[in-house]
Chains A and B, each alone.
Chain A
Amino acid sequence: MRRSSMRALAAATFAIFITACATTGTSGGGAVASPTGNDTGKDFAFQSTQFSPVPEQEAMRQQILKNWKGVGVEFITDQEAVIINNITAEAKAGGTGRIGIIGLENGQFSSIVAGNYLQDLSKVTDRNKDKKINADMLTLGKFGGSQQLYIPWMQQTYFLVANKQALQYLPSGADVNALTYDQLIAWAKNIFDKTGQKRFGWPVGTNGLIHRLLQGYWYPSYTGGLVTTFKSPEAVTMWNKIKELWQYSNPQSTTYAFMQEPLQSGEVWVAMDHGARLINVLKAKPDDFIAVPAPAGPKGRYYMSVVIGLGIPKTTPNQGGAEKLIDYLLQPDTQITTFRTNSFFPVIDAQMPADLDKGLKLEADAVAKQSSAKDGKVVPLPVGLGSQGGPFNTAILNTFQRIVVKGEDPSTVLNEQAKIINDLLNTAQAKCWGPDGTSTSTCQVK
């Protein structure tokens, strides 16, 4: 049992990301394995949007970076806007800056890439070839060009967590490891009918990631797309299903950001969220909860992969030192420590240890089942939106607010929001991605 779950875990770490990109590239460059920059011996800052919760920051500083033997590295977390601001200012001020390396989500790199503020890391990729970094993710890090602008660092996904108390109310015939959205709705209804409690939860509060659940889960699973099918008849069906589920959802959902909190307090029994926002409850009460793959819709069991990459700005004070830090962070031991402490999955071919924490094992098994499901299909975070990424999320969130929370007519809202989405896609000149397939011109709502 243990060996099979470990094998599944290893499969998961690789398989989270199978078909996210249309093209599969190889890492460019020759076999030169020498450092591209010298270690100037200067300390530098490592700025990241990840690990912002204080315990995760501390784990990064004290455990993940524990065996780092190089120059002083100060790990600082910040919002995307602040990091972009800092990198831009350092580039414009000239000379060398203070930020040696940045760690961002794939989508957060867009405007820094557009500003041409990042180094080409192809040679760092080459010298780490033996670690077998996921090739699809490396391709993502090239942003359609030949330069390796970021190197994948770690990955995460979203899945479903349920309190074991809820299992008795599963609709008959439903397999909790292969749910459909219809069964999920029936489950929430059943809990409400039998207990009088609304125990399904959504992360709709400030900082909640509801837009990702819509972009990577509900929309593609029901319509087979996101942008192109935004106001299709299938989309209307989907919104009506969500409204149905909302009736049995905890009304406090509009305040939830990290679903692990209401799950741990018992306000909510069943919820979907980002792995890093569920892990604490799994670690705290591994015997009371189960983690399972996301449900499937008529078009399949879609799920979203989140890739975090490492980039070195051209203004780095210590090119060689930052490159060595990338080597260090990609070492199998470091990658596994990262998974153990902060529950982000490796991007390399790493051998998982057998003595994983119970909660982590729950998470790893759920992710493995999700990625190996027969009807499983993976989509990336929105690609190519640049500065329109935020407004795009807002447009999706507003659609949810208007249709589900305020109860407006789905067709009317979809027509109005479609115009907003088309406008911002035109501004960004974004081609279709992920669930919508590829396009030669700007992606538009049909």
Chain B
Amino acid sequence: MTAVAAARSPRMNARTWDRVLIYGSAILLALWVLVPFYLIFLSAFSRPNDVFTYPKPLLPTDLSTETMQTFLNSTGVFASVINSIAVAVLTIVISLAFGAPAGYALARFTFRGRQAVQLVILASKMFPVAILSIPLAVAFLRLGLYDNVLGIALVHSAMALPFVVLVTAGVFAGVSNELEEAAMTLGCSRLTAFLRVALPLALPGLAAAAIFTFVISWNEVFASSILTLRQRTLPALVLFALQQSPLYFKFAGGFFMVMPAIVFIFFMRRYLLNLWGGR
């Protein structure tokens, strides 16, 4: 009995150590991400003047919603959140509507110049928007797209499309062609085979593309600032103002900008894990 235990213990130890190491690093990584969020949360939910306490307390002893309320009540914040969400959703719809078929085509069909097309799509990322700013604003003013949610969504889609095309091409390449062919032998048309077989299998990948698109649109400041005046998205409205605002406002704004993205990713996480072969 004791001999068996003795023989097992070194292996047990090695396994325990493995686990400690894995979980330890996981905890460390999680803290790396979470501690800054925690500090932002703490300051966003304390009284404005408590932010200046030095040294700063690390425990939530005196929480207050005063700072957050002032931030949320300041002019335009609520409307800009709605704008940001509208722009992000429109961007996801537009870029998936155009990007997914393009990705599918790149994955399924071999045609002359396929690589060149891929390269050109990627190369469009090389143009800095800053150079285009005035001509773009002039064009949008003339087209009536200036200061308009659809206008910003179009620009954001243009920014997100290269990613969407490349990600979806990778996703569709991973869905076996044979499955679609089998579906077609069983009476599906090309379209229904795509809709009923390829699309459900590609869903996690498309979700990943949607997350990328959401984050790109949610974080984008420059195009949103120069193409709007009153219909601002949240970052365009607050980013410059926050840089110059009192410390407690920075925390409230920072917290408010981070939260929706975290919530969104929390819900989309499932699909991402599927994509990476998680359980």
Binding site for B on A (CB under 8 A): 45, 47, 52-55, 57-58, 61, 74, 76-79, 82, 85-86, 88-90, 92-93, 97-99, 206-207, 257-258, 261, 264-267, 280, 284
In the complex, what distance in Å separates the CA atom of A54 from the CA atom of B238?
Answer: 8
Contact (A58, B244) CB under 8 Å given A85-B226, A98-B147: no
Residues in B neighbouring A86, C-beta threshold 8 A: 137, 226, 229
Nearest B residue to A62, CB-CB: B75
Q: How far is the CB of B247 from chain A (nearest CB, A)?
A: 5
In the complex, what distance in Å separates the CA atom of A97 from the CA atom of B138?
Answer: 11
Residues in A neighbouring B244, C-beta threshold 8 A: 52-53, 207, 257-258
Residues in A neighbouring B246, C-beta threshold 8 A: 53, 55, 258, 261, 280
In the complex, what distance in Å separates the CA atom of A76 from the CA atom of B54?
Answer: 34
Would you give the 0/1 interface string for B237-265, flagging 1 where the beta carbon is closer than 8 Å to chain A?
01011111111010001000000000000
**Main SS of chain B's interface residues?**
helix
B141 at the interface (CB under 8 A from A): yes
Residues in A neighbouring B142, C-beta threshold 8 A: 93
- 22 chain-A/chain-B pairs, Cβ below 8 angstroms: A45-B230, A47-B229, A52-B241, A52-B245, A53-B244, A54-B238, A54-B241, A55-B70, A55-B246, A55-B249, A58-B75, A78-B240, A82-B226, A85-B226, A89-B134, A92-B138, A93-B138, A99-B229, A207-B244, A264-B52, A265-B53, A267-B54
Q: How far is the CB of B186 from chain A (nearest CB, A)?
A: 57
Contact B241 A85 (CB under 8 A): no
Q: How far is the CB of B25 from chain A (nearest CB, A)?
A: 30
Residues in A neighbouring B54, C-beta threshold 8 A: 265-267
Contact B138 A53 (CB under 8 A): no
In the complex, what distance in Å separates the CA atom of A54 from the CA atom of B76?
Answer: 11
User: Given known contacts A54-B238, A89-B226, what 11 new A-B pairs fall within 8 Å (CB)?
Assistant: A52-B243, A76-B229, A82-B240, A85-B137, A86-B229, A89-B137, A92-B134, A98-B147, A257-B243, A261-B246, A261-B247
Contact A57 B75 (CB under 8 A): yes
Residues in A neighbouring B110, C-beta threshold 8 A: none
Chain A CB count within 10 A is highest, among B133, B240, B244, for B244
Nearest A residue to B71, CB-CB: A54
Q: Which of A57, A89, A90, A267 contacts B241 (CB 8 A)?
A: A57
Q: How far is the CB of B15 from chain A (nearest CB, A)?
A: 46
Residues in A neighbouring B70, C-beta threshold 8 A: 54-55
Contact A61 B225 (CB under 8 A): no
In the complex, what distance in Å separates the CA atom of A423 from the CA atom of B247?
Answer: 38
Q: How far is the CB of A411 from chain B (nearest CB, A)?
A: 36
Contact B245 A76 (CB under 8 A): no
Contact A54 B229 (CB under 8 A): no
Chain A CB count within 10 A is highest, among B49, B53, B141, for B141
In the complex, what distance in Å separates the CA atom of A92 from the CA atom of B135?
Answer: 9
Residues in B neighbouring A77, C-beta threshold 8 A: 240-241
Contact A53 B133 (CB under 8 A): no
Q: How far is the CB of B55 from chain A (nearest CB, A)?
A: 9
Would you give the 0/1 interface string for B129-141, flagging 1 where the beta carbon is closer than 8 Å to chain A?
0000110011001
In the complex, what distance in Å separates the CA atom of A74 from the CA atom of B147?
Answer: 14
Q: How far is the CB of A251 from chain B (nearest CB, A)?
A: 15
Residues in B neighbouring A79, C-beta threshold 8 A: 225, 240
Residues in A neighbouring B229, C-beta threshold 8 A: 45, 47, 76, 86, 98-99
Residues in A neighbouring B226, C-beta threshold 8 A: 82, 85-86, 89
Contact A61 B147 (CB under 8 A): no
In the complex, what distance in Å separates the CA atom of A92 from the CA atom of B134?
Answer: 9
Nearest B residue to A79, CB-CB: B240
B74 at the interface (CB under 8 A from A): yes
In the complex, what distance in Å separates the CA atom of A52 from the CA atom of B244?
Answer: 6
Contact B75 A93 (CB under 8 A): no
In the complex, what distance in Å separates the CA atom of A406 from the CA atom of B138?
Answer: 44
Q: How far is the CB of A372 from chain B (nearest CB, A)?
A: 30
Q: How far is the CB of B75 from chain A (nearest CB, A)?
A: 6
Q: How far is the CB of B175 from chain A (nearest CB, A)?
A: 44
Q: How far is the CB of A374 from chain B (nearest CB, A)?
A: 35
Q: How far is the CB of A122 from chain B (nearest CB, A)?
A: 28
Nearest B residue to A267, CB-CB: B54
In the complex, what distance in Å separates the CA atom of A86 from the CA atom of B224?
Answer: 12
Would you give the 0/1 interface string for B187-229, flagging 1 where the beta carbon is closer than 8 Å to chain A?
0000000000000000000000000000000000000011001
List which B25-64 residues lie within 8 A (CB) of chain A. 49, 52-54
Residues in A neighbouring B247, C-beta threshold 8 A: 261
In the complex, what distance in Å separates the CA atom of A207 from the CA atom of B53?
Answer: 23
